[in-house]
A = this chain, B = another copy of it.
Amino acid sequence: MERAVVEKIYQEHEKRFIEEWKEFLRFKSISTEPDYEQDCRKCAEWLVSHLRSIGFEASLLETPSKPTVYGFRKGTAGHPRVLYYGHYDVQPFEPRSEWKSDPFDPELRNGRLFARGAMDNKGQTFYVLKALEQLIKHDALKSDVTVLIEGEEEGGSEGFMAALAGWKDKLKADVLMVCDTGTLAPGVPAITMGLRAIGHLTIKLGGIHKDLHSGVHGGMVKNPATEMCRLIASLHNPDGSIAVKNYYDGVKEAAAEDRALANRMPITMEQYAGMVGVPPLGGEANYTPLERRGFRPCIDVNGIHSGYDGPGSKTIIPSFAIAKISARIVAGQDPKRCVELISQHLKAHAPKGLNLEVEGAAGPGRAVSLSSKSEIIQKARQVLLDVSGQEPLFMWEGSSIPVVSVLSEITGAEPLLVGFGVEEDNMHAPNESFSLTQFKDGFMYASMMFGSF
């Protein structure tokens, strides 16, 4: 469908869309709090009915945790199969007192709909459902479309991911469409082109029975705090690159055009420094900050603790030191192997005379890194240009959405991550909202994107 047609349809139905969206938002589908178990199920059942009402076969798929909403609509042969993934569960709302209106009684103020889940992910999922409804109505949906809306994303999707393998046959697809991301500024469309995978390690260095007097023992024993620092320092080379042996094996250099696109973000080093407090001078010297985040692995200390933490001084040698480390892992790297390599490095560099314990685990899923040359990405680029009149941003993100790569691996589908969230939406915070403009942009994108397959 043409942009003008889609816009006209939207205007015709906007009021109803908002009323139905509000209905969806009234379910207290907080997945991480046991009190809301029934609210989650009711929300899922409502979605099943809604999917049926717009033309899908739909049912609940049970998991070890919350039920997943499954919908399917057969299309015409020869078109790509599309799997839409979203989630109906929301974050807790506390503290209630900071909300200007009831988090589960949606309120429209200044063109924004305020409610828990207004954006994440009920709002973004609902414009997709409304787009599908209208495409079906106007006989413009050619693809096989599978809808999978899970109920425990905010709690880590463990039960959902455990159940996925059993649904493999149901989920085969060519495109995995997700609308759970955002962009940098309202009205500027963006395609999320990459996600890093993650691994975690906890390191403990000790063996000393109790804190020692630093005068009596200083210089005699190895100091666990000092040695932990030396051990952690050994993870990086002076140039900021990772010093763990073979760690970069399999990491491919990003294509020149993708690097160029990644660097074309509308934020300067100065703006970044103003926002964060310090300039982006970490990591490997021969990559730009955005390239480092998007294409390069990194290892971060999330916490290190040892010894005295009060005012003044306490002259002890701490009996132990503990550090928590996370690794952001990129395309071409096996997360399990990365964790194992770090663990081996730590053991190989462990100081003699102290005891080292290392525990590590890779998160689910591998990294995702898409090429701007991909046919689907180019199609999305064109759709977003048509919808907004602007070239979209191409964002290789540094964070992790494990379910995307897990779903992509199981279904064989190529991820397509486009969303309309912005900072102002207060995702996960009090007074979450999503503007009608964002909702409309989402509807336009989803309609034209699904319509293009």
Contact = CB atoms under 8 A, between A and B. Distances in A.
Interface of A: 196, 198, 200, 202, 207-209, 212-223, 225-226, 228-230, 232-236, 272, 276-284, 289-290, 292-293, 296-309, 313-319, 321, 323-324, 326, 328, 351-355, 397-400
Contact of A218 (B220, B235, B300, B304): B300
Contacts of A214: 300, 302, 326, 328
A366 to B, nearest CB: 15
Nearest to A234: B233
A55 to B, nearest CB: 38
Interface centre among A219, A290, A296, A351 (most CB of B within 10 A): A219
Given A281-B353, A306-B303, A276 B209 contact: yes
B277 A216 contact: no
15 contacts: A196-B215, A198-B315, A209-B276, A214-B300, A217-B276, A218-B298, A218-B326, A219-B282, A220-B282, A223-B282, A225-B323, A226-B299, A226-B301, A228-B229, A281-B353
B220 A198 contact: no
Contacts of A276: 208-209, 212, 217, 221
Contacts of A278: 207-208, 221-222, 353-355
A356 to B, nearest CB: 12
Copies of this protein chain in the complex? 2
Contacts of A351: 281
B304 A304 contact: yes
B302 A305 contact: no
A81 to B, nearest CB: 30
Contacts of A289: 219-220
Contact of A229 (B223, B304, B352): B304
Contacts of A313: 200, 202, 302, 324, 326
